[in-house]
Structure 1
Amino acid sequence: MKKLIKLGLVLALVLITAACSQGANSENNSESTEGSEDKNTTIEFWTMQLKPTFTDYIQGVIDDFEKENPNITVEWLDVPAADLDKKILSSVSSNTAPDVVNLNPTFASQLASMDALVNMDEELSDKEQESYVEGAWEANQLNGETFAMPWYLSTEVTLNNSMIYEEAGLDIENAPETYEEAREMTETIMNETDKYGYFPSMDLSLVLQHMVKMGVDLTNEDMSKAAFNTEDGLKAFEYFTEMYQNDMMPAEALTGDQRESIDMYQAGQTTFFAGSQFISQIEENAPEIYENTVPSQAITGKSGKKSISVQNVVVPSQTKNKDAAVKFGKFLTNAENQLAFTKLTPILPSAKEALEDPYFTEKPEDATPKDMVRLVSASQLDEAELLVPPMDNYNELRQSMFDAISASMLGEMEPQKALDKAEKEWNEILSQ
């Protein structure tokens, strides 16, 4: 019961409802999907803030699917990103969940931990599973089961303002690829230009991601105990504490959110940051900065690991139309449809076949910063992975680490004491 309380009242209600209705739902699913190929079926599909920008694309996919499957109708609902988690929790708790939903692995794993999602290992053949990028497929796994089909991806790419490099007397061809190189370049840039170099955002899960890239294991193998209170963990705390206290990174990196990083980059106040997902925004809001933006490999540390972000497609186990829902999920994420989607916006497909297209492998003449973001991002897929795996009580763990490193960076606690505090809190949370 402690876990349920920690997840909050709404999540507790979801778990209780899901647990109580599991057997009934399974029975209903079995009955309702039997012979579904021969009867008219309507499935409900939820996406996260894709209208109106991608209305034509999504509706086109739905139309094509319905033509191939005249007995299946897809009703599409687009939900604001800020409301989706709450809305899906409410629908699951009231036993009115949609049939197919677009979620990220972190939130989807919370539902998977309640057995609220269909196990895709049982629904997709080995060949179908292997058609997805390995790191993307594995990003949707919890306790040895796969709770989603990967949809679209991105890897972390560094955006560099070449004008500031030039002003500082630095070669843009030698953009930093490690944390140490980032610190060295930041020092040079600040001395020569009085501008910031690196903007390492500490928002959301990024503290944990920084630590993993720096060679830190967050937990032991079975996720029962914290494993980060090590020499590498201390070095990570010391790195960001020294950068912050020596004014080598903007205060907003700690006190703000990721929007601060894009705002300062667009204003020409910072030189480089992990922001490939913002490249279209930069093009629209700061055309001069955009024209002088040079994408480069992601900054990493001792582990050499690079981050992959995944948007996926899940099928709630409450569905009464499992076969049709899974069929639509496979259609939505097939290579042809993913390739078309990725040509509309700077994302990557999770389908391996789509990645073989020259669009992701060949540099066009007069390549734009957008083109280079795509090529650099795709080139990193083989070495990219979900750095922070799905974990029980993830939000508590993330907040605990953020609070600890904040205390260190703000000078409220020595780095080692802050790390000790985080370790104690993690062990308490993980033991629940």
Structure 2
Amino acid sequence: MQLATRARRMAAVVVSAGLVLSGCGLGGSNDSSAGTDGKVTGDVTGTISFQTWNLRAKYADYFTGLIKQFQTEHPGTTVNWLDQPADGYADKLSADATAGALPDVVNLSPDLAVPLYKQKLLLDLDVAAPDAVKDYLPGAWQGFAMPGQAHSYSFPWYLNTGPWFYNKKLFTDAGLDPTKPPKTYEELRDQALVLAQHTNGAIAMFGQTPSIEDLGLYGVEAMNKEGTRFTFNSPKGVELVNLFKQMYDAKALLPEALTATYTGAGKKFMAQQVAMNSGSAYDLKNFRTDAPGLYANIGITTPMTNTGHANMYLQGVSVSAASKNKATAIAFARFVTNARNQLAFAKIVTIFPSTAGTLDDPFFTEDDGTDDARVRVAAAKQLATAVNYTPVAFTDQMKTILRNELANAMLGKESPQAALDSAADQCDKLLTS
């Protein structure tokens, strides 16, 4: 799947919970590390395997060159590159883990790392490579902290975040200031109600109900510190759902948004029937081509947040705890994710680096007037302090549960408190199932 799309997903499909710890990685046998209980040391030599997630088709030249450079800098090393298709990636990870054949270095999203972590198949990188944390953005490093843990189990790789687009003309027509789009959820609610009243509900502010990210952006703690139960049914969580309920009742939200399979908000935005929508540089290009009237009035702003920190979506590179060449695997994982190579990768695909200081590069700070640059600069500004608000244990099934319960709250079938209580209870049961 496309990198920008995958990095913006809340969660990937869930790896089977039935993984077992057995066997070893695909590497050689020259490691002299301290194992998984301490800092990994030893010569960087021998053979390792490196698995990516549907990247070969478009980025083969980049990865071939990357591997060649590493092998040149470290004589005696061999990196065997594996690339798996997007469909069935979680199942492939499960099968490899069960067979004791998990690659030495493997591309993972946070949710895909959780089942492997639970079976002790991934290295604790705060222990195995304690000097690495300083090289990455704090929010990105913490994005791979496992449930109830402070330690990371993946070197952060590429990030993404979505700026919001808004229609300046629709704002102006409703008497709203087109230079001051909403920055907080309260401002969103207030402006949405003005828009709905002015248009008699014909124009919605946007087309989505709250997600787990919205709860985080509002300041709701989604889980307890131990990672054993969900806590988004707190009074603050209820506050946010009440805000959305007010907007829904005023027809400031698209009614279709309550349907779990609804994907039409973007089209409604292009048709100028919705005033705000999240997106990417790809969308801006589409507006210019397919919706020139919208493009002429497009505004770009940061996502609403009551915490002062935007949301990030991230991918990482983990190291198998069973690798026989841990020193080489760690060295290669850090090489893939170092500042130089992340910057080079970001210049050929619409993603952002997770390394400390790299977002200060002119590529991310200077707007040359192109659509790509307009969105890239806007997004980069918010990533330096962004947070992954989606708990690593929050699965697609849990996402559906939350959405369904909140739809009931919007429709008045349940109170916001009852809806959140039900969602938290169902999600808690899945944690232990």
Equivalence for 2:208: 200
CA, structure 1 residues 78+192, in 2 after alignment: closer, same or farther (shift >3 Å)? Answer: farther
The CA distance in 2 between the partners of 1:426 and 1:195, in whole Å, is 34
1:34 aligns with 2:32: yes
The CA distance in 2 between the partners of 1:106 and 1:321, in whole Å, is 25
Equivalence for 1:179: 185
The CA distance in 2 between the partners of 1:67 and 1:112, in whole Å, is 32
CA, structure 1 residues 169+49, in 2 after alignment: closer, same or farther (shift >3 Å)? Answer: farther
Q: Tell me the secondary structure at the aligned position of residue 275 of structure 2.
A: strand
TM-aligned CA deviation for residue 335 of structure 1: 1.0
CA, structure 1 residues 338+121, in 2 after alignment: closer, same or farther (shift >3 Å)? Answer: same
Equivalence for 1:402: 403
Name which of structure 1's ranges 418-427 and 57-66 shifts more when overlaid on structure 2.
418-427
Q: Tell me the secondary structure at the aligned position of residue 383 of structure 1.
A: coil
Which one-letter code corresponds to 1:402 in the other structure?
A: R
CA, structure 1 residues 187+10, in 2 after alignment: closer, same or farther (shift >3 Å)? Answer: closer
The CA distance in 2 between the partners of 1:328 and 1:344, in whole Å, is 21
The TM-score normalised by the length of structure 1 is 0.83
Name which of structure 1's ranges 163-172 and 400-409 shifts more when overlaid on structure 2.
163-172
1:320 aligns with 2:318: no
Equivalence for 1:369: 371
CA, structure 1 residues 129+225, in 2 after alignment: closer, same or farther (shift >3 Å)? Answer: closer
Matches within 5 A, 1:248-287: 248-256=252-260, 259-276=263-280, 278-279=282-283, 282=286, 286=290
Equivalence for 1:309: 313
The CA distance in 2 between the partners of 1:279 and 1:161, in whole Å, is 14
Equivalence for 1:234: 238
The CA distance in 1 between the partners of 2:172 and 2:423, in whole Å, is 41
The CA distance in 2 between the partners of 1:108 and 1:258, in whole Å, is 28
TM-aligned CA deviation for residue 292 of structure 1: 4.6
Contact 2:281/2:371 (CA < 8 Å) preserved in 1? no
Where do 5+ consecutive residues of structure 1 fail to align?
Answer: 1-7
- RMSD over aligned CA atoms reads 3.2
Equivalence for 1:383: 385
Identify which of 151, 161, 165 aligns with 2:157.
151
TM-aligned CA deviation for residue 357 of structure 1: 1.2
Equivalence for 2:123: 118
The TM-score normalised by the length of structure 2 is 0.82
The CA distance in 2 between the partners of 1:39 and 1:305, in whole Å, is 41
The CA distance in 1 between the partners of 2:28 and 2:64, in whole Å, is 29
Name which of structure 1's ranges 191-200 and 350-359 shifts more when overlaid on structure 2.
191-200
Name which of structure 1's ranges 128-137 and 113-122 shifts more when overlaid on structure 2.
113-122
TM-aligned CA deviation for residue 284 of structure 1: 8.0
Identify which of 90, 99, 107 aligns with 2:104.
99
TM-aligned CA deviation for residue 107 of structure 1: 1.7
TM-aligned CA deviation for residue 395 of structure 1: 4.8
Name which of structure 1's ranges 101-110 and 169-178 shifts more when overlaid on structure 2.
169-178
Q: Tell me the secondary structure at the aligned position of residue 51 of structure 2.
A: strand
The CA distance in 1 between the partners of 2:248 and 2:203, in whole Å, is 14
TM-aligned CA deviation for residue 285 of structure 1: 6.1
**Greater percentage in helix:** 1
Contact 1:266/1:285 (CA < 8 Å) preserved in 2? no
TM-aligned CA deviation for residue 98 of structure 1: 1.7
Q: Tell me the secondary structure at the aligned position of residue 81 of structure 2.
A: strand
